[in-house]
């Protein structure tokens, strides 16, 4: 099978590429290597994927450029597209709402159009648990109303879900939208809480805690997310929206305690006011994923945090200056 993975140099995307390559597929990754976080981290991911030889190809480009997107589709015949490229993050989207709409909505249209024009009939696309907003009903189910987005990022992801439905309804593309719930693990973006807290704790610096620490998230380990993504590539859906989470919530205070235990270091807390766009809880109802995908998340947070910390420590050792 030939796959195009947009956002293939990023956290989730690089893992998806790696798993597909391990399964014997041919993989093309498209990524703009933008400076949302250090592009050197993404280049490192690409270098590790290039170790797979000719089975992997990388193209640097911006999905907001339709000519560039078309050139990628014109240059290779893809069986499926896994569309992960996006501007991510609730808080940054509040600062740059137009950028988030341009990349996440307009960019997604360019990918869908190229897939339609070049005969790629199946796409797996990333959405987000942020679309649920402040949902009084927990856990969050795909059938819940989602008309009250509270951040530009969430609004952009709702728009991509609508576009996916349009391209299925009018053009017959097979599309599954995956609502990811707070993914973590090796290669996690450095701006996300677990990675950011670990880095600050290792440096003996205080960690910023917005609100009273009672907010809860459904943290989902990358291996479990990969299980769900890969399962989507093996069957047809027509059009479907599916949650991928751990279906277990952890408070911010509990998360910090788990990090302290794994890091062997106390956390210094910098208490700050709650921020606009944050929700009090995310909690995935994964019954549809179990039924449709055979999805069965294995890694609980008590095991996932130590795994992440081992990776984090290994990377620290690799980048530490060597004494002559």
pLDDT at residue 44, rounded to an integer: 96
* pTM to 2 decimal places: 0.95
pLDDT at residue 211, rounded to an integer: 87
Q: State the Cα angle at 320 between 315 and 321, rounded to 5°.
A: 155
pLDDT at residue 274, rounded to an integer: 84
User: Residue 216 above 60 pLDDT?
Assistant: yes
User: Residue 317 above 90 pLDDT?
Assistant: no
pLDDT per position as a tens digit, 252-278: 999 999 999 999 999 999 999 988 778
Hey, what domains does the chain have and what are their CATH numbers? Answer: 2-183+221-246+283-298 (3.40.50.720)
User: Residue 323 above 60 pLDDT?
Assistant: no
For 142, residues 6+ apart whose C-beta sits below 8 A from its C-beta are 179, 241, 242, 243, 285, 288
Separation between Cα atoms, residue 201 and residue 254, nearest integer Å: 16
pLDDT at residue 322, rounded to an integer: 45
- Give, as one character, the DSSP assignment of residue 294: -
Averaged confidence pLDDT in the chain: 95
Element (H or E) spanning 134, and its range? none
Separation between Cα atoms, residue 310 and residue 286, nearest integer Å: 28
Cis peptide bond prior to 139, omega within 30° of 0: yes
Separation between Cα atoms, residue 188 and residue 192, nearest integer Å: 7
- pLDDT-based confidence at residue 320 (cuts at 50, 70, 90): low
Output the CA–CA distances (angstroms, integers) from residue 226 to 47, 63, 84, 145, 300, in the order listed.
Answer: 20, 23, 13, 27, 15
pLDDT at residue 208, rounded to an integer: 94
pLDDT at residue 54, rounded to an integer: 96
User: Residue 319 above 70 pLDDT?
Assistant: no
Q: Which residue has better confidence, 13 or 319?
A: 13
Percent share of the chain, pLDDT over 70: 98
- Least confident span in 9-13, 112-116, 135-139, 307-311: 135-139
pLDDT at residue 324, rounded to an integer: 41
pLDDT at residue 316, rounded to an integer: 83
pLDDT at residue 55, rounded to an integer: 98
Strand order, beta sheet including 80-83:
56-60, 26-31, 2-6, 80-83, 122-128, 174-180, 239-244
Q: What is the mean pLDDT of residues 212-216?
A: 90
Active site residues: 153
pLDDT per position as a tens digit, 74-117: 999 999 999 999 999 999 999 999 999 999 999 999 999 999 99
Q: What is the mean pLDDT of residues 145-154?
A: 92
Separation between Cα atoms, residue 117 and residue 315, nearest integer Å: 42
pLDDT at residue 318, rounded to an integer: 67
């Amino acid at each position: 099978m030939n796959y195009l993975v947009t956002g293939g140099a990023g956290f989730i995307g690089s893992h998806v590429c790696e798993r597909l390559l391990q399964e014997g597929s041919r993989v093309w990754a498209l990524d703009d290597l933008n400076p949302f976080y250090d592009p050197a981290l993404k280049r490192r991911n690409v270098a590790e994927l290039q170790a797979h030889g000719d089975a992997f190809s990388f193209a640097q480009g911006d999905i907001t450029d339709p000519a560039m997107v078309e050139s990628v589709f014109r240059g290779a015949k893809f069986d499926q597209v896994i569309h992960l490229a996006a501007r991510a993050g609730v808080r940054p989207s509040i600062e740059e709402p137009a950028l988030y709409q341009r990349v996440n909505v307009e960019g997604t249209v360019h990918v869908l159009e190229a897939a339609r024009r070049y005969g790629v009939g199946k796409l797996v696309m990333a959405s987000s648990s942020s679309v649920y907003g402040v949902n009084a009903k927990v856990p969050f189910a795909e059938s819940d109303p989602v008309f009250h987005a509270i951040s530009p990022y969430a609004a952009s992801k709702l728009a991509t879900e609508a576009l996916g439905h349009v391209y299925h309804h009018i053009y017959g593309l097979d599309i599954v939208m995956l609502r990811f719930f707070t993914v973590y693990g090796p290669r996690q973006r450095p701006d996300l809480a677990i990675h950011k807290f670990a880095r600050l704790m290792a440096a003996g610096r205080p960690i910023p805690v917005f609100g009273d620490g009672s907010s809860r998230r459904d943290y989902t380990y990358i291996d479990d997310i990969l299980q769900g993504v890969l399962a989507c590539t093996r069957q047809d859906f027509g059009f479907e929206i599916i949650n991928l989470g751990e279906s277990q919530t952890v408070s911010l205070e509990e998360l910090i305690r788990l990090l302290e235990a794994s890091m062997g270091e106390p956390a210094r807390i910098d208490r700050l006011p709650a921020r606009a766009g944050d929700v009090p809880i995310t909690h995935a109802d994964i019954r549809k994923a179990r039924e449709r995908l055979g999805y069965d998340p294995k890694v609980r947070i008590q095991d996932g945090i130590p795994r992440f910390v081992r990776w984090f420590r290994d990377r620290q050792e690799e980048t530490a200056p060597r004494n002559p």
